[in-house]
Amino acid sequence: MALTIYDQVIQNGWPSADYATYQKGIIAGAFNKPNEKIQWLNFLEKQYPVSGMIPQAQLEIANTYLSEEDYNNALSPLYKVINNEKAIPFHPQGYLKLGIALFNLNKNDPALDQFNILLSKFPNSPETESAVEYIRNIYIEKQQPTAFIELMQANGKPISNNEADSLTYRSAYNRYEAKDQSGAQAGLTEYILKYPNGKYAIEANYFLAEINIVQKQYNTALPFYNLVAAKFPNKYAERSALQSARIYYFDLKNYQEASKYYLLLKRIAVQQENRLEAMRGLLRCQFKTANFVDAAPNAMELLSQKGIAADDQLMAGFVIAKTDQLNGNNNEALISYKKLLAFGKSEITAEAQYRVATLLLSNNQLPEAEKAAFEVIKQFGSYDYWVTSSYILIGDIYLKQNDLFNAEATYKSVSENATINELKKLAGEKLLEVIALKEKITKVQ
């Protein structure tokens, strides 16, 4: 019925023919006939060029194209609306929809221009409120959260500190997700400087550490990992403690600091492989720093783990033997050291063989001690420290046997030929003692 009336109005050219034409277009759209709708609305503009309905018709044409995601064709009618000085009531809609169309065409800067005009001219309009989210997204994409915050402040729409915190982090994290390491690094650094105790401080520090690891900047990554690990519990603490421990151990050779982070990792690790690595790493740090008191229980715990590697068994066994020796449990230590020799040739087994010789000497088992010392020389020739130490030990055995001639010859040979200054000095001191002893005996005779 309504269409019939509108047709009569249009055909007769009555005063409301422009309105009737507009309604014909709207009805066509309601019946899901977008092309027909656009035809009627374009006809209105052409047939009634001074009609007050034209801005509405142009907005409807734009709306139709926008609903069809035909953003390019939506631009022309929208530009007509915002350039029509007689259509000011429709300008807020025009600027908003023009900005949306440009945004969807990936023309962020021109879109931002339209949104900014809307914000400045019509700050209290509903369209301005709708535009804020687009403005925010554009500034985040441009990695300019501070500019967005300042823009809102300048236009009487201040951003809370919590929102500013989130925006600054989100802007940087988007770059991280996009694998833009340079952009992410700059953004995350800015975030930490502005919000050192912010809501996302842990995440920002962790991702900065990860970026530096990818770039092989291990020393630079370290303080970020340290901070995250120190703030456990958090979901990044376990990996951060592991990475800090590895950097201190392998790159910086700082075994005291590595011990701290392996110990922390051992406490907080959820993944069994990380907990096992923590025990292994901690044991090695304790071994290298000669902290056998703390190492012994850790070694016992490591030995109780299933499927541990041979080198773990070797080092743990050595620590237990060494602890027994330090505690004066020589018989237990001797048994433990001997068991280690089955693990083959290594610096640890070289020392174990040497310790067997020293314990035998302390037990006054001189022939056995001499034989054990010569085994070091015979079996572990590539480990100069223990070979040289064994020669000195043989000199000690000769001395204890009152064989001053061979003791002097042995010490003299080591003091002249040793390449390790510490042992060269020790042999020289022992040589002087033997010479002094010989002189004393000569005088008595």
The 3-state secondary structure of 13-55, one letter per residue: CCCCHHHHHHHHHHHHHHCCCHHHHHHHHHHHHHHCCCCCCHH
Average model confidence (pLDDT) across the chain: 93
Q: Mean per-residue pLDDT for 252-270?
A: 97
Is residue 312 within 8 Å of residue 328, measured between CB atoms? no
Domain residues for the domain of 353 are 344-445
Give the chain's radius of gyration (CA, Å).
42
C-alpha distances in Å from residue 235, one per residue of 173, 229, 419 = 17, 10, 51
Q: Is residue 353 part of a domain?
A: yes
pLDDT band at 6 (very low <50, low <70, confident <90, very high): low
Total domains present in the chain: 1
Could you tell me which of 339, 326, 406 has the C-alpha nearest to residue 366?
A: 406
Q: Mean per-residue pLDDT for 400-406?
A: 95
- pTM over the 0.75 mark: yes
The residues, any chain, with a CB within 8 Å of residue 218's CB and separated by 6 or more, are 212, 247, 251
Question: The tokens of 69 are what?
Answer: 């995601």
Q: Is residue 287 part of a domain?
A: no
Q: Is residue 135 part of a domain?
A: no
Q: Is residue 351 part of a domain?
A: yes
pLDDT, tens only, 117-151: 999 999 989 999 999 889 889 988 888 999 989 88
Q: Is residue 214 part of a domain?
A: no
Q: Is residue 381 part of a domain?
A: yes
Please name the amino acid found at residue 333: A
Q: Is residue 388 part of a domain?
A: yes
pLDDT at 379: 95
The CATH number of residue 365's host domain is 1.25.40.10
Q: Report the residue count for the chain.
A: 445
Q: Mean per-residue pLDDT for 94-103?
A: 95
Q: Mean per-residue pLDDT for 336-344?
A: 95
Residue 1 has pLDDT above 70, yes or no: no
Q: Is residue 151 part of a domain?
A: no
